[in-house]
Amino acid sequence: MALTVKQLVNRHGALVSAVTALLVAAAMVAQRLLEFFIGLLSAVSVGQAYAFPIFPVLLVAVPFAVGFFVSLWIIAPIAEELRLPHVITRAILATGVASTVVFIVLAVAGIVGAFSLQGEFFANSFPSPRFDGAWALNAVLSALTSAALTFVSTLPLGVLAGVMLWIWRKDHPPRHPLSGLVDEV
């Protein structure tokens, strides 16, 4: 049975899934902040400047949170009647979906970054657009590496979030049954 967009959006459990995804993103940002401060101590000891890379952190944390939310809400929600192995499997799936969204966002950003204008902008009335294929390939490979590292580094956090969500749902069962795309196959 084909589902419409309206049926997908009208699924229950969005708020709890969104809160879980936001908490995972907050934990990711907190981890990066901790890594920054540890690196700052090292950089200060040798007299180097060290700046916090807020844009790359947000370029990973926000897409990860979106992917984690979509997975927990639409693809494979974690319901209270599931057993622990199914909860862990769905949490791993949510982490995988989130890492895939991170790959897509980083790859698109890298490919867009491969476009440039050749020539002086004001001295040349019509600068020619240029596409650097090597840059784009490197950006896609870098995005793949970043997404794989994100998956590996956040897998314990994603499983913990899934188990905590399951425990919370056992204590606060939803009024409507939860089902996802995985359940309807």
Q: Is the pLDDT of residue 38 over 90?
A: no
In a domain, 26, yes or no: yes
Q: How far is CA 181 from CA 4, 41, 73, 152, in A?
A: 12, 47, 10, 25
What residue numbers bound the domain in which 116 lies?
11-171
In a domain, 66, yes or no: yes
Give 123-178 pLDDT, tens digit per residue: 556 666 777 778 889 999 999 999 999 999 999 999 999 999 999 988 887 776 66
Helix (H) or strand (E) holding 130: strand 128-131
Task: Supply the pLDDT for residue 58.
Answer: 85
Cα 15 to Cα 143: distance, rounded to the nearest angstrom: 30
Q: To 5 degrees, how large is the angle CA 180–CA 184–CA 185?
A: 125
Q: How far is CA 78 from CA 58, 90, 140, 166, in A?
A: 26, 7, 32, 6
Cα 109 to Cα 113: distance, rounded to the nearest angstrom: 6
Instruction: Label residue 58 left, alpha or beta by phi (over 0 means left) and psi (-120 to 50 means alpha).
Output: alpha
Task: Supply the pLDDT for residue 54.
Answer: 75
Give 59-116 pLDDT, tens digit per residue: 899 999 999 999 999 888 988 888 999 999 999 999 999 999 999 999 999 888 887 7
Task: Supply the pLDDT for residue 112.
Answer: 87
Q: Is the pLDDT of residue 121 over 60?
A: no
In a domain, 3, yes or no: no
Q: To 5 degrees, how large is the angle CA 180–CA 183–CA 185?
A: 115
Task: Supply the pLDDT for residue 132.
Answer: 74
Task: Supply the pLDDT for residue 71.
Answer: 93
The phi and psi torsions of 102 (rounded to 5 degrees) equal -60, -45
Report yes or no: 22 and 38 within 8 Å, Cβ to Cβ: no
In a domain, 6, yes or no: no
Domain count, the chain: 1
In a domain, 53, yes or no: yes
| pLDDT band with cut points at 50, 70 and 90 for residue 56 | confident
In a domain, 181, yes or no: no
SS3 (DSSP) at 183: coil
Q: Is the pLDDT of residue 118 over 60?
A: yes
In a domain, 182, yes or no: no
In a domain, 15, yes or no: yes
Pairwise pLDDT comparison (54 vs 38), residue with the higher score: 38
